[in-house]
Amino acid sequence: MTTTPKTIPLVDIRGLRKRYGTNEVLKGIDLQIERREVVCIIGKSGSGKSTLLRCINGLEEFQEGALTVHGQPLKIHDPHAMRELRQNVGMIFQSFNLFPHLTVGQNVMLAPMLVKALPKPEARQRAEKLLARVGLAEKFDYRPDQLSGGQQQRVAIARALAMDPEVLLCDEVTSALDPELVGEVLQVVEDLAGQGMTLVLVTHEMNFARKVSDRVVFMHQGKVHEMGPPEALFSRPQTPELQQFLSAL
Amino acid sequence: MVDFSLWDIVRNLLLALRWTVALSLIAFVGGGLVGLALLVARLSKLPGAAPAVALYVQIFQGTPLLMQLFLTYFGLSMLGIDTSALFAASVCLTLYASAYFTEIWRGCVLSIPRGQWEAASSLAMNFREQLRYIILPQATRMAIAPTVGFLIQIIKGTALASVIGFVEITKAGQMIANATYEPFLVYGCVGLMYFALCFPLSVWSRRLERKLNPLR
């Protein structure tokens, strides 16, 4: 798209402010996410991490500021613009949100068939390939409630990848899982990162953040409090709030 | 004095039963279509739709069906529309059913977890696609029991159409009871016929629910 030597960020957030009624949860966020970057957002509950993530794909509306994805400004009240944007931005949820009345394969096939008008055989092929990629090829005809939490989350990842997004938003994707199932999901995410996917993760898995991310963002009371490479942030926290947060882990 | 056999009574009641069934079907199908349209209007957040539908529902839920029938019948003739009792009863019962159906189904849709809507939106599906492929299929499973339950209410509600002169099984029962001087026998038969309509429906509803929810 661009031939200039300086690439534009994939996600460009400037001066974002969001209120719920009189309660301001995001107090002016400036953040740029480059292509192929893996950014982990950490912080206490209530710091605004998930809200920020949900603003990026339009699940939450913000009052002030500008948000641009892939060069296009986010226009939440424009259904066509949102449809375009959400094909570029995928999301994985803490509670998986698989469609219970469809099989695993149908879950993955549905959106490409509807939104991208992919013919059924191609959609099926794509679904089979993606399920194999997350290690669940043999579960194609199973129902979501027949799978474990970790398997369901991996299906959710395959479902999001089926839309071929530019960036994947992961909202505490392992927080609802039993500890022994966390590893299989993190492995899939790590593989995605290794394959060059742009990822923005809200997570409490500090070891994972340390290992996989290019940049860690620490949020506190609705603002980006500290930001930097994982080694610097975790070993040499600059602000007392981050020091306190890390010591409580 | 003319002697009436049991078969005379039952035969005439069965002829009138056709009209009970017909009116119930009209109200169910018509009310279902109108109720669905109102539900979609409300869910799609059309400007003014939510308060308008809420008011509509309050009117039909807050007044007796008998009074609604009277108002429809006399109201239509005041507007200059020359109507039969069947037409007036059909219109009234259709609107009455639509008000209850739209609330029942709205409740079923609201009980679908918000995460389903969010997952569908994140996959770039528009409102129509979300409703059609994700929300309504799940809501329908939940809606079967209350919908069939209300169908049974409709069948019993058709009895009130007798007061505007529509000859369904209750009215026929009255006429036959007057002619035969056997009110207990006649109304007993009427009651049994209503039961014969309603009971199989509740059995079928339970079976349908179990078929769509094999795990429960």
Domain count, chain B: 1
Is the separation of the CB atoms in A157 and B123 below 8 Å? no
List the domain range (segments joined by +) for residue A196. 11-247
Domain assignment present for residue A162? The answer is yes
Is the separation of the CB atoms in A76 and A61 below 8 Å? yes
Taking contacts as CB-CB distances below 8 angstroms, the residues of chain B near A101 are 137-138, 141
Domain assignment present for residue B41? The answer is yes
Is the pLDDT at B216 greater than 50? The verdict is no
Question: Can you give the CATH number for the domain in which A111 is found?
Answer: 3.40.50.300
Question: Can you give the CATH number for the domain in which B52 is found?
Answer: 1.10.3720.10
List the domain range (segments joined by +) for residue B45. 6-212
Is the pLDDT at B215 greater than 60? The verdict is no
CA distance B112 to chain A (A): 11
pLDDT score of A6: 58
Distances (CA, A) of A11 to A71, A85, A170, A200: 8, 11, 15, 10
Give B30-52 pLDDT, tens digit per residue: 999 999 999 999 998 888 899 99
Identify which of A13-17, B73-77, B203-207 has the greatest average pLDDT.
A13-17
Domain count, chain A: 1
Question: Residue A26 has which token pair?
Answer: 């995001």
- Average pLDDT value for chain B: 91
Question: Residue B170 has which token pair?
Answer: 């209750």
Q: Using alpha carbons, select from A37, A38, A42, A45 the residue that is nearest to residue A234.
A: A42
Look at the alpha carbons of B44, B45, B49, B53 in this order and tell me if their dihedral is positive or negative. positive
What order of strands is seen across the sheet that includes strand A64-69?
Answer: A23-33, A11-20, A64-69, A72-73
Q: Which value does ipTM take for this structure?
A: 0.92
Domain assignment present for residue A141? The answer is yes
Question: Residue B204 has which token pair?
Answer: 């079928």
Question: Residue B134 has which token pair?
Answer: 């994700």
Give B118-136 pLDDT, tens digit per residue: 999 999 999 999 999 999 9
| Interface with B, mutate which of A77, A86, A116, A143 (most B CBs under 10 A) | A86
Domain assignment present for residue B123? The answer is yes
* Sequence-separated (6 or more) residues with CB below 8 Å from residue B168: B16, B17, B19, B20, B23, B158, B159, B161, B162
Give A24-76 pLDDT, tens digit per residue: 999 999 999 999 999 999 999 888 999 999 999 999 999 999 999 988 899 99
Domain assignment present for residue B67? The answer is yes
Name the pTM for this structure. 0.86
| Interface with A, mutate which of B114, B116, B123 (most A CBs under 10 A) | B123
DSSP-H helix ranges across B160-182:
169-180
Domain assignment present for residue B1? The answer is no
Q: How confident is the model at residue B2 (pLDDT cuts 50, 70, 90)?
A: low
Mean pLDDT, rounded, for A196-216: 93
